[in-house]
Structure 1
Amino acid sequence: MKRRHLGLFLSFWAFVAVPVAVTGWYLFERAADQYASRVGFSVRAQEFQAPVDLLSGLGNLGSSTTSDSDILYEFIQSQEMVELVDQALDLRNLYAKPENDPIFAFDPDAPIEELVDYWRSMVAIYYDSGTGLIELRVRAFTAPDAVAIAEQILAQSSIMINRLTAVAREDVTRYARQELDQAVARLKEARQALTQFRATTQIVDPTADVQGQMTVLVSLQQQLAETYIELDLLIENSSESDPRVAQLRKQVQVIQSRIDIERRKFGLAGDGESDDAYATLLGRFEELNVDLEFAQTSYLSALQGYDTALREAQQQSRYLAAYLSPTRPESAEFPQRLTLLGLVSLFVFLIWALMALIYYSVRDRS
């Protein structure tokens, strides 16, 4: 064998055969088996249909929410998801289980950034933006661990969608709830003011009380008129010295005094209107009653608006629909030893061949 052929043969063994042999030994003797669990889901938006639509069969139960699926796609790959799963399952120790596999196992003392990178290599995401379907292939070194991680991803994704739903509902109902709170506050103030008025005046309904007082006043005025008529008739038929005239005059004074007292209650006396006059009380009562009616109308309107906002919020309800529950693997799919060995063999062979061609090309020219 010529010297250059011997050198080529030795270089082949050194740069191709030995690396391929070491790689094959590691893959088949040291590399730990990896099990893959698959889970698939999509984000759905609940749509409430009218009874006519339900009977006619024109309504749909839900529709895909692509924007939420985009958010979920990014969330699954995020550091927040990794931290949540790590807190629930001790992810570092799960990925560090193979003690004799430094290539594929994870270093439990590594920082969170490296754990996130390792997570992205172990959790493959297949996302169809057109349909909003998301499917995951979750790998771990034992089948139960792969299933547990897949279930935890599904649970945390559902929590995220519920959080998005709560935020959307809060945005829809915030203004309506503020209006309702203000209407309730106005209604309480109006009722308290009316209650305070009744407690102060000791009158439940001034209108009814005024009607009673007016009846008394009309009766007194009628008695006064009858007494005047009787007095006039007596004066025409007798003299001023008649004791009955003095008695009737005294009766007129008493009735007139009582009428003045009753009229003063209504603020109709000639000495001005007092604070407790019925006219003042009635005006204040009507003012408070108008305020109460306005507050009640505002409350009913705000309540109707809030109910409408709640219905709109319900129509924006989102939920996570799993069309593929986490599967339990029975055999290891990874690492794909033959595929990796073939790729390594091809890679080192191409490098060796390229180096050999370069070497002989330079040698022939020199």
Structure 2
Amino acid sequence: MQDQKRKEAAVAGTLDAPGRVLPLKPLAAAPQRPPAPRGRMKARHWGIVASFVVVVALPAAICAWYLWTRAADQFASYTAFSVRREEVNSTLELFGGITALSGSSSSDTDILYEYLRSQELVADLDQTLDLRSMWSKADPARDPVFAYRAPGTIEDLVAYWPRMVRISYDAGAGLIDIRVLAFDPSDAQRLSTAIFERSTAMINELSAVARDDMIRYAREELDEAVERLKVARQSVTEFRNRTQIVDPEADIRTQVGLLATLQENLATTVIELDLMRQTTREGDPRIAQIDLKVRVIEARIEAERKKLGIGADGAEGEAFATLMGEYERLIVERQFAEETYTAALAAYDSARSEARRQSRYLAAHVRPTLAEASVFPRRGLVLSLVGLFLFVGWAVLTLLATSLRDRR
């Protein structure tokens, strides 16, 4: 027990050197601060609250009142489609693959997307459906935000078009989704149907133009090929009339055979002449006769060789080699003209075949729908966005004002 008291006294600092316990001294009392005054609202605080009410609460309340009491109900009609093309190949592709003529591409969808946002479409639908009356069914005096103020100009109608017709285009898949709003469900469906019909007519017009171009170009190529074939055949005919030779190849074969026969006769006659000179006396009339025969055969051989283009130049008429070269050139030109004509005729037949069938068309995977309930304007979403933007703007302005005040 004594040891325990000594330890406690040592810890408390009341134990002297010999081990005696000293009495504790009272500690001085710390000075007491007065309590903080109760917080009070200052003028700047009331200003912040007032600014919140004016900038955020009051506009949000006015927006809510307008959305639920003044904004007219809007009905939505949805449709979705894409540009498709046929992949059926013509049987004429067996002749060299020359009929890949139905070349539709994603540019068709791009063109259609631009057409759906064009003034031409808006003006056309206004004449057909009277868009001004359709979109002004909601009283503009009661709902000046969402209703269209008729009559307006075509520019006003085009500016109002994106608010009521939303066009979504997926360039990767080539799909177009359209949402049409109107103040009557049947009007929304009629407008959506009209947009689909105009889009179909536009794609058909593109197909018709492409088919007409294909047929026209193919017809021009065919006409050129026919004219070239006529000229080539006429040139061959003129050559035959001028040379009196129907087939130079057959004639040259005959001439070569005749030349070979003459050379054979010449060789036989020369051998006979040599034998005659060796077996008879000088001045024998038979020797002169055989010698004359040799010279005649040699002259004929020389003449036939000149006809074939062999030997010295200067012979009368044209050599067979020259005639044969000209004839071969004309035949090659005629064959090329015939092949060109065959290809042009196949292309023309293919173009006509493509014209008989619809190579590209508009495929709707969502037909224009008919709304049963009003979904737009989305009042809760609009009020939430308005409140969010007002609050963010108010908070930023308040922080700026506070920071400027603290820097003074």
- TM above 0.5: yes
SS in structure 1 opposite 2:144?
Answer: coil
Pick one of 84, 87, 91 that aligns with 2:124.
Answer: 84
The answer to whether the 8 Å contact 1:37/1:146 transfers is yes
2-structure distance, mates of 1:322, 1:305: 32
How much is the aligned-residue C-alpha RMSD, in angstroms?
A: 3.0
Post-superposition offset of 1:50: 6.3
2-structure distance, mates of 1:67, 1:109: 36
* Sequence identity percentage: 51
The residue number in structure 1 matching 2:158 is: 116
Post-superposition offset of 1:109: 3.1
Pick one of 197, 200, 209 that aligns with 1:155.
Answer: 197
SS in structure 2 opposite 1:135?
Answer: strand
1-structure distance, mates of 2:121, 2:356: 27
The Cα offsets for residues 17-50 of structure 1, whole Å up to 9 and x where unpaired, read as 1101100000111111111111011111123356
The answer to whether the 8 Å contact 2:104/2:360 transfers is no
Pick one of 52, 60, 77 that aligns with 1:12.
Answer: 52
Structure having the higher Rg: 2
Post-superposition offset of 1:311: 1.7
SS in structure 2 opposite 1:36?
Answer: strand
Post-superposition offset of 1:362: 2.2
Gaps of 5+ in 2: 1-40, 92-101, 227-340
Pick one of 58, 63, 77 that aligns with 1:23.
Answer: 63
Post-superposition offset of 1:306: 3.7
Letter paired with 1:158 = T
Post-superposition offset of 1:345: 0.8
1:342 aligns with 2:379: no
The Cα offsets for residues 60-109 of structure 1, whole Å up to 9 and x where unpaired, read as xx998422111111110111111111111001111111111100111223
2-structure distance, mates of 1:118, 1:172: 40
2-structure distance, mates of 1:155, 1:312: 23
1-structure distance, mates of 2:402, 2:346: 89
Post-superposition offset of 1:177: 4.1
The residue number in structure 1 matching 2:285 is: none
Question: Comparing both structures, which one devotes a greater share of its residues to helix?
Answer: 1
Gaps of 5+ in 1: 52-61, 185-298
2-structure distance, mates of 1:308, 1:176: 9
The Cα offsets for residues 166-200 of structure 1, whole Å up to 9 and x where unpaired, read as 1000110013445789999xxxxxxxxxxxxxxxx
Pick one of 159, 164, 170 that aligns with 2:206.
Answer: 164
- Aligned pairs (5 A) from 1:317-328: 317-328=359-370
The residue number in structure 2 matching 1:310 is: 352
The answer to whether the 8 Å contact 1:169/1:314 transfers is no
Post-superposition offset of 1:127: 1.7
1-structure distance, mates of 2:182, 2:196: 16
1-structure distance, mates of 2:44, 2:225: 98
2-structure distance, mates of 1:156, 1:322: 13
2-structure distance, mates of 1:64, 1:175: 17
The answer to whether the 8 Å contact 2:90/2:350 transfers is no
The residue number in structure 1 matching 2:79 is: 39
TM-score, structure 2 as length reference? 0.54
1-structure distance, mates of 2:364, 2:105: 14
The Cα offsets for residues 85-138 of structure 1, whole Å up to 9 and x where unpaired, read as 111100111111111110011122332223212112221122222221211111
1-structure distance, mates of 2:45, 2:213: 78
Letter paired with 1:166 = A
The residue number in structure 2 matching 1:101 is: 143
TM-score, structure 1 as length reference? 0.60
- Aligned pairs (5 A) from 1:182-331: 306-314=348-356, 317-331=359-373
Q: Measured at CA, do residues 82 and 170 of structure 1 come closer, stay the same or move farther in structure 2, by a change above 3 Å?
A: same
* Stretch of structure 1 that moved more, 65-74 or 25-34: 65-74
SS in structure 2 opposite 1:19?
Answer: helix
Q: Measured at CA, do residues 315 and 144 of structure 1 come closer, stay the same or move farther in structure 2, by a change above 3 Å?
A: closer
